[in-house]
Chains A and B, each alone.
Chain A
């Protein structure tokens, strides 16, 4: 298997477990941990955090009639229709927030790493 794909899969699994079992800031710690690895990059961390969170939310939400995404939409919308497209969009937005946060954490470490390497 392509090492990049393997790295992505491992990181995605790690982010999935982190999202599932730790508070939100756990994602930041995992992102930092991956960013410290030489084989990793901020881009990889961002993409794998996105996929890990997406899967975790989909599993928790169920996407059925009473899924929390629908309840949350109702909460924010109050009245009015609930277009079906809004639910995946909402989930994607939340996963993107997590991914950006993970990417920023990883980006910070990567920059520091590069700066450190440059000094040496």
Chain B
């Protein structure tokens, strides 16, 4: 070989060596918290894998795997909708199989949600989850969940179910091969962790946070400090007289509420220059709520009670709920289970069905503290300086790094925000402590497992004893036709405080005085006709304030009642009628608003400029029936107009919505439709002028954005995000109608996550629907499942087999 050839070979070798080195480094590196590129693209460890759906092959595999684990008394079948039906001789086998099958489909989701509440989401998602982790750790949610896990294990009702379920999940985790790991693990290069009773408790606390973590007190206090006492009383009376409460007027006695004012010190110290905001990822959706109603058999075609429920929560993919049918000698229950937790949360059995809605109660208060100095190590309470307990915690990241976090706790509750959290809070020496019923160690699972096997409404009400949080409106209907209602949960006793505002806590009188007794909670047994709950106030009267002050608008409840009354006039009510009611997209608020507003706005204003005129004509509001159907243009204009009107009024009277608390939309309509009340607001312009300008603004915005009047489903786009908000794993632009105050309460990113109608015949007839599929793996055909049908408001008939002897 000549020299030049050797040089060429050496050069080639060098280039190849360089290429190998560069590629090895690149393939071994992580980008954007994903797992190393080489692992990511590898057909062995990477994302290239197709997850099986609930098909006969999966059924056989799972059945064989259960047998291999020594669980041979379980029969697993999937129905034509892919819903698993599990039947077992022993309770322990049933819950083991439930854990195993749920983990097969939803392992990443349950792992993520429990780690989220534990303040460990960054272990799965990397640095971007750090704000959320800091928040939950400062809230002391992990400690509350761990104490709750002890209760799960010390209670005979929950102990066996929890341990068996945990074993089932862990059996699946042990069995799983790397190439079978759910997509998200392979994307981020992470691994599941063994399931424990604590992780079940985390999930329960997660739901409690979602449904009660409303931090309105701060914005309310800013509002209170800004507006006059007369307007405050007009817009935020301590109790309101709602047109459609759950139980009507107060039958629960009267009680004097102390309403001590904010001390000047607290006001000055805390509110002078603070601007607190939660990480957007953890702020509970303000519209979290639900609809449920039960109709007595006297009014139904079958002569049996009917129950309906839809749970309004933030949409996620995988779907939040996992439908399942569990059968054993002790129970035969179908319904929505929470992945990661045993049993069924909402559903029915042969004898009883139950449904829940959020009570929308105020069970969280903020307190400002008087610290000794800027170090926040001691605070004054009952005349003595008490120490702040400081803990040091590590938040781990997927690559083994960690962030050190200091959390602070007082005897009142944890201190949520500290110096450095926001640019403004660093200027104030005050911190805030939180009192929240969600931090009480509790065992809600007991209630649900007892409900799973309850036979009648008496047993249903018994199951609710000891239920702590989140407060829920429980409705039960049994096959004998009895219907019962109870607002279940623990409520603080605020003897000397308002509960709506942030005040300085320097003694016992400034904080909660224990809790109300369970007997004080609103309830009604043996409902004669029907009962409707839609997060509205439970009743009108003095004691309303004990349970809250930011109840939902009464429009949904009112609409449901209207439909039931209409059906009553037509004849006996069939379950199919109730299924159709759930898809009703009429919004009584926007309907009422546009009817009222159109009368206030002179015709020439409607046609003030070419664009407004075109917009008005295109919407043709005069012919609108109030429906927020996907193709309605009138709904778009009515809603956009209302929103502009609302913001114009409240921004002039109160201030912007980010910093202030605006009254409910129902209160707005009550106020502006009353001449006397409107006068008190002292608006700068007459209402007709505000309405005209709001209409013009709405049209300008709509035409500016869409260059035409968009259909409702374009204006309110319905999108489903991934549980961990991983881009691309959600689903955009689902065609769906509905609105905030419609029975079909779709708000685009939030709405019905579990829909159910049950007729308590023998055997029960039921319909159900979730926004998504059964599988939690984005690479499964059953991941987003029946989203389109869900968007159309459809429901699927449930395949429910009664137990032997129940036909």
* A residues at B contact (CB < 8 Å): 19-26, 28, 42, 53, 56-57, 59-62, 64-69, 71-79, 94, 97-98, 100-101, 104-105, 107-108, 110-112, 114-115, 117-118
CA distance A75 to B1 in the complex (A): 52
Q: Which A residue sits closest to B719, measured CB to CB? A: A79
1/0 per residue, CB under 8 A from A, across B14-47: the answer is 0111011001100100000000001101111111
CA distance A73 to B779 in the complex (A): 12
Could you pull out 25 A-B pairs where Cβ atoms are within 8 angstroms? A19-B42, A20-B44, A25-B27, A25-B38, A26-B44, A57-B43, A60-B43, A60-B49, A60-B50, A66-B50, A66-B778, A68-B50, A71-B778, A73-B728, A74-B729, A97-B27, A105-B20, A107-B12, A108-B13, A108-B16, A110-B12, A111-B16, A115-B6, A115-B9, A115-B13
Chain A contacts for B46, CB-based, 8 A: 24
* B residues at A contact (CB < 8 Å): 1, 5-6, 9-10, 12-13, 15-17, 19-20, 23-24, 27, 38-39, 41-50, 183, 187, 726-729, 732, 778-781, 783
A111 contact from B12, B39, B50, B729, Cβ within 8 A:
B12
Q: Is the CB of B43 within 8 A of A56?
A: yes
CA distance A105 to B17 in the complex (A): 7
Q: Is the CB of B44 within 8 A of A66?
A: no
- Least CB distance from B750 to A in Å reads 19
Q: Which B residue sits closest to A107, measured CB to CB? A: B16
Q: Which B residue sits closest to A62, measured CB to CB? A: B50
- Least CB distance from B550 to A in Å reads 34
A23 contact from B42, B50, B726, Cβ within 8 A:
B42
Q: Is the CB of A100 within 8 A of B19?
A: yes
Q: Is the CB of A94 within 8 A of B9?
A: no
CA distance A97 to B43 in the complex (A): 13
- Least CB distance from B783 to A in Å reads 6
A104 contact from B20, B39, B41, B779, Cβ within 8 A:
B20
Q: Is the CB of B44 within 8 A of A61?
A: no
B23 contact from A104, A114, A117, Cβ within 8 A:
A104
Chain B contacts for A115, CB-based, 8 A: 6, 9-10, 13
- Least CB distance from A67 to B in Å reads 7
Q: Which B residue sits closest to A75, measured CB to CB? A: B728
- Least CB distance from A76 to B in Å reads 7
Chain A contacts for B12, CB-based, 8 A: 107, 110-111
Given A104-B16, A105-B20, A115-B9: A21 and B44 within 8 A (CB)? yes
Chain B contacts for A21, CB-based, 8 A: 44
- Least CB distance from A10 to B in Å reads 19
- Least CB distance from A111 to B in Å reads 3
Q: Which A residue sits closest to B5, measured CB to CB? A: A118
Q: Is the CB of B41 within 8 A of A66?
A: no
A57 contact from B9, B10, B48, B780, Cβ within 8 A:
B48
Q: Which 10 A-B pairs have the closest CB atoms?
A: A111-B13, A74-B728, A75-B728, A24-B38, A118-B1, A60-B48, A107-B16, A104-B19, A108-B16, A56-B43
Q: Which B residue sits closest to A72, measured CB to CB? A: B47
Q: Is the CB of A24 within 8 A of B41?
A: yes
Q: Is the CB of A101 within 8 A of B27?
A: yes
Chain A contacts for B19, CB-based, 8 A: 100, 104, 107
Q: Is the CB of A111 within 8 A of B732?
A: no
CA distance A28 to B42 in the complex (A): 13
CA distance A56 to B44 in the complex (A): 9
